[in-house]
Structure 1
Amino acid sequence: MATYPTRTQVGIIGGGPSGLLLSQLLHLQGIQTVVLEQHSREYVLGRIRAGVLEHGFAALMREAQCAERMDREGEIHDGFWIAHDGRRDRVDLKGLTGGNSVVVYGQTELTKDLYEARDKLNGIVIHNAEDVKPHDLEGAPYLTWRQGDEVHRIDCDYIIGCDGFHGVSRKSIPKDKIREFERVYPFGWLGVLSRTKPVSPELIYAKHERGFALCSLRSQVLSRYYIQVPLTDTVEQWTDDLFWAELKRRLPDKVAAELITGPSIEKSIAPLRSFVCEPMRFGKLFLAGDAAHIVPPTGARGLNSAASDIYYLYHALREHYQQGSDAGLDAYSAKALARVWKGQRFSWWMTTLLHRFPERNPFEDKLQDTDLAYLFSSEKALASLAENYVGLPF
Structure 2
Amino acid sequence: MRSQVVIVGGGPSGLLLGQLLHRRGVDAVVLERKTRDYVLGRIRAGILETGFVNLMREAGVAERLDRECFIHEGTQIADGNEMFSVNFQELIGESVVLYGQTEVTRDLYDAREAAGARTIFNVDDVEICGADTEAPFVTFTAGGQSHRIDCDFVAGCDGFHGVSRQTIPLTVRKEYEKVYPFGWLGILSETPPVDDELIYANSERGFALCSMRNANLSRYYIQCSLSDRPEDWSDAAFWDELKRRIPEHVADKLVTGPSIEKSIAPLRSFVTEPMRWGRLFLCGDAAHIVPPTGAKGLNTAASDIHYLYHGLMQFYEDKDSEGIDRYSEKALARIWKAERFSWWMTTLLHRFPEMTEFDLKMQQADIAFLRDNVDAQRVMATNYVGLPF
Which of 346, 350, 356 pairs up with 1:361? Answer: 356
Correspondence list, 1:138-217, <5 A? 138-139=132-133, 140-217=135-212
The letter of the residue matching 1:215 is C
Cα RMSD for the two superposed structures: 0.6
Residue 117 (str. 1) matches residue 136 (str. 2): no
Correspondence list, 1:266-305, <5 A? 266-305=261-300
CA distance in structure 2 between the partners assigned to 1:88 and 1:60 by the alignment: 34
CA distance in structure 2 between the partners assigned to 1:330 and 1:81 by the alignment: 41
CA distance in structure 1 between the partners assigned to 2:10 and 2:125 by the alignment: 15
The alignment's TM-score, normalised by the length of structure 2, stands at 0.99
Structure 1 stretch 143-152 or stretch 42-51: which is displaced more? Answer: 143-152
CA distance in structure 2 between the partners assigned to 1:207 and 1:296 by the alignment: 16
Tell me by how many angstroms 1:353 deviates.
0.1
Residue-by-residue CA offset, 1:341-375 (whole Å, 9 max, x unaligned): 00000000000000010011111111000011111
Residue-by-residue CA offset, 1:15-70 (whole Å, 9 max, x unaligned): 00000000000000000000000001011000001100001111111111111111
In structure 2, stretches of 5+ residues that fail to align are: none
Residue-by-residue CA offset, 1:314-342 (whole Å, 9 max, x unaligned): 10000000000000000000000000000
Residue 225 (str. 1) matches residue 220 (str. 2): yes
Residue 384 (str. 1) matches residue 379 (str. 2): yes
CA distance in structure 2 between the partners assigned to 1:88 and 1:372 by the alignment: 11
Residue 262 (str. 1) matches residue 254 (str. 2): no
Residue 79 (str. 1) matches residue 101 (str. 2): no
Residue-by-residue CA offset, 1:130-184 (whole Å, 9 max, x unaligned): 1111101112100111124310110010000000000000011111100000000
CA contact (8 A) 2:80 2:246 kept: no
CA distance in structure 1 between the partners assigned to 2:303 and 2:45 by the alignment: 16
Residue-by-residue CA offset, 1:219-251 (whole Å, 9 max, x unaligned): 001100000001010011001111111001101
Alignment-derived partner of residue 10 in structure 2: 15
CA distance in structure 2 between the partners assigned to 1:124 and 1:194 by the alignment: 36
CA distance in structure 2 between the partners assigned to 1:71 and 1:20 by the alignment: 19
CA distance in structure 2 between the partners assigned to 1:104 and 1:253 by the alignment: 26
SS at match of 2:388: coil
**Identical positions, percent:** 61
Tell me by how many angstroms 1:85 deviates.
2.6
CA distance in structure 2 between the partners assigned to 1:207 and 1:129 by the alignment: 43
CA contact (8 A) 2:293 2:346 kept: yes
CA distance in structure 1 between the partners assigned to 2:213 and 2:320 by the alignment: 42
The letter of the residue matching 2:101 is Q
The letter of the residue matching 2:32 is E
Tell me by how many angstroms 1:87 deviates.
1.7
CA distance in structure 2 between the partners assigned to 1:37 and 1:102 by the alignment: 29
Tell me by how many angstroms 1:123 deviates.
1.1
Which of 25, 31, 36 pairs up with 2:26? Answer: 31
The letter of the residue matching 2:276 is R
The letter of the residue matching 1:111 is T
The letter of the residue matching 1:316 is G
CA distance in structure 2 between the partners assigned to 1:16 and 1:103 by the alignment: 20
Residue-by-residue CA offset, 1:186-206 (whole Å, 9 max, x unaligned): 000001001110001110000
The letter of the residue matching 1:222 is L
SS at match of 2:380: helix
SS at match of 2:203: coil
CA shift in 2, pair 1:118/1:148, >3 Å: closer
CA distance in structure 2 between the partners assigned to 1:88 and 1:366 by the alignment: 18
CA contact (8 A) 2:8 2:155 kept: yes
CA distance in structure 1 between the partners assigned to 2:132 and 2:309 by the alignment: 21
The alignment's TM-score, normalised by the length of structure 1, stands at 0.98
CA contact (8 A) 2:52 2:302 kept: yes
**How many residue pairs get matched?**
388
Tell me by how many angstroms 1:120 deviates.
1.1
SS at match of 2:211: strand
Alignment-derived partner of residue 126 in structure 1: 120
CA contact (8 A) 2:80 2:204 kept: no
SS at match of 2:326: helix
Alignment-derived partner of residue 325 in structure 2: 330
CA contact (8 A) 2:131 2:277 kept: yes
SS at match of 2:372: coil
CA distance in structure 2 between the partners assigned to 1:13 and 1:254 by the alignment: 48
Tell me by how many angstroms 1:88 deviates.
1.1
CA distance in structure 1 between the partners assigned to 2:220 and 2:80 by the alignment: 20
Alignment-derived partner of residue 104 in structure 1: 98
The letter of the residue matching 1:115 is Y
The runs of at least 4 consecutive aligned structure 1 residues that moved more than 3 Å come to none
